[in-house]
Amino acid sequence: MYSIEFEADIKNGVVTIPPEYDELQNHHAHIVVMVKDSPIKELPASTLDFSGAGISAFKEQGAVELQRELRDEW
């Protein structure tokens, strides 16, 4: 893996790769965006509440005990 650095404008959610990096076309990349302007608005906290969810996956047997049995098969 290697890195390159360039500045570009984001227009309609699209970043145009400069011509000197044409070899990046049709490749997978890890993108890091650093913005010099004001910070992005903070997202609201999640309102999901799973406290009432019942989990019955290991109802019959403890999860640790099950893992030990599975490892013994190896």
Domain ranges of the chain: 1-38
pLDDT of residue 73: 67
How many Å is the Cα radius of gyration of the chain? 24
Check residue 61 and give its pLDDT: 76
* The predicted structure's pLDDT at residue 12: 92
- The confidence score (pLDDT) of residue 74 equals 60
Dihedral angle, C-alpha 10, 11, 14, 15, nearest 10 °: -40
Q: Quote the CA–CA distance of 10 and 13 in Å, as a whole number.
A: 6
Cα 42 to chain centroid distance, Å, stands at 18
Q: Residue 24: what pLDDT? A: 86
Mean pLDDT in residue range 23-27: 87
Kindly report the pTM of this predicted structure: 0.43
Helix (H) or strand (E) holding 15: strand 14-15
The average pLDDT across 38-65 equals 78
